[in-house]
Amino acid sequence: MVRLLEDFEAPYAGIPTFLKFPHVNIKDIESLRNVDIAILGVPLDETTTHRSGAKMGPRAIREASTSFSGYSLRSKFDLNDLTIIDVGDVPVIPGNVEKSHKAIYETVKQLIKKNITPAIIGGDHSITYPAIKAHEILKEKIGVIWVDSHLDFDDEYPPGQLYSHSCSLRRTSELPFIDPTNIVVIGYSGYASHPEHEEEVDEAGISMFSIYDIREEGLEKVAKKSVEIATKNTTSFYLSVDIDVLDPAFAPGSGLHEPGGLTPWELFKMLAILGHQRVAAMDLVEVSPPYDSAGITASNATAIIIETLAARMKYVINTK
């Protein structure tokens, strides 16, 4: 491919949309036609209970992405061959979790109505619940794959807070169109949890593969099992990835470190399977730039999004 000088722009120049995809104002969603994927930022971390800063995650990831091409060597797929736009950020309201979650819900619902796959950049993990809830307009059951070193299954944390990032999986499991037996947690480490958390998840019917299960059973086996569970009697599933599933060496900029996590290579290999054609939407959460040495976490977050979307679209195209 011949690149013309007039088409060249330095990676550090211009507006830092994700992978420099065209920006479309979020207010103009209704006018969109024939769009495959929309990048959506959610700069919210009001419910963070440890290290804050994830509200700056969308901006940091977009900036990091400007040095990426959008090509996945693993999947042999170039995202530039699709129609992808960056619709900016959900208009969250600092200090008001309820109204911010409502704004997430309404925005994601608009994208779903337009048959556009949302690729969401957080923000803390509380944003996932309203994003999944928006899928109720499909009027069908969907599965959930939750890649995270934590279970996020508290009922209230802190006491009185039902919608914090520590409660998001429990709230998701309570949605009427989500069968808990179609939910899978991958990568659980447990250092910040208690034994009763595992018992509650198990009692709810949710499947769980800890970091030790992954090491013992193998990445591919766990990933394939997870897709089978999430897609049993469902038409699609939502994929949520918390950056803290990576070992702190590869993701220092996260809200709560868990030693002994996955390497980027391991996670990318897993995403090649999890990025199935039946992924209805995805999110990447909990990148905290203030703690991100040399932008390592934001770069790995960018690669996670690329690998997931490339794997999904390869599945879609190969099954047409």
- How far is C-alpha 39 from the geometric centre of its chain's CA atoms? 11
Helix/strand number for the chain, H first, E second = 9, 10
Q: In the chain, which ranges are continuous DSSP H helix?
A: 57-65, 97-113, 128-133, 168-173, 195-204, 211-217, 219-231, 264-274, 296-318
What pTM was computed for the model?
0.94
pLDDT tens digits, residue range 195-249?
Answer: 788 889 999 999 999 999 999 999 999 999 999 999 999 999 999 999 999 999 9
169: left (phi over 0), alpha (psi -120 to 50) or beta: alpha
Burial class (CB in 10 A: 0-12, 13-18, 19+), 221: middle
CB neighbour class for 223 (10 Å; exposed up to 12, middle 13-18, buried from 19): buried
Give the integer Cα–Cα distance in Å for 35 and 85.
Answer: 7
Provide the CA 22 distance to its chain's centre, in angstroms: 21
Summarize pLDDT for 238-278 with one digit per residue, the tens: 999 999 999 999 999 998 888 999 999 999 999 999 998 89
| Mean of pLDDT values over 148-168 | 75
All domains of the chain, ordered by start, with CATH? 5-318 (3.40.800.10)
Q: Which amino acid, 85? A: I
CA separation for the pair 290, 63 (Å, rounded): 14
Cα 21–262–273 angle (5° rounding)?
60
